[in-house]
Amino acid sequence: MTPGPAEPGPLAGQKVQTVTLRNQSSGDILGPVSLVLNGLSLNATLKNKSGTLLGSASTPYLNARLPSAYLKLTDFNRNVLQLRAGVFRPAETVTVQLIFDTTDGNPITYTPTVLSGDGTR
């Protein structure tokens, strides 16, 4: 994971940060892949969050868009059996853009965690 600097956003009081995620494992990672911002500083709110962690409304996350976002599985009669999130392949990278609303000019801090696969966030 490589976070870029938080730079001024398009609107007053906003900062934008690009974070690059890389699959460093030797196997595929099933999506969705979510970047969790643990302990996000009180001077910032993640404007483009996908949601917040269950049981922790103050912990936002953002889902990364994987190269193959959805996979349709069909049977021989062309009936859709299931929709699944994409696959994050070994050595592949994806970027997420975090858009923060800020209350002051102080640095935005958080501890990033990456979650993957189906299940509650």
pLDDT in tens, 21-57: 999 999 988 888 999 999 999 999 999 999 999 989 8
> In three state form, how does the secondary structure of the chain look?
CEECCCEECCCCCEEEEEEEEECCCCCCEECCEEEEEECCCCCEEECCCCEEECCEEEEEEEECCCCCCEEEEECCCCCEEEEEECEECCCCEEEEEEEEEECCCCCCCCEEEEEECCCCC
Domain count for the chain, please give it: 1
- The answer to whether residue 121 sits within a structural domain is no
Output the six-digit token pair for 21: 């995620």
Q: Which domain holds residue 49?
A: 2-116
pLDDT, residue 76, reads 64
Q: pLDDT confidence of 67, banded at 50, 70, 90?
A: low
CATH number of the domain bearing residue 60: 2.60.40
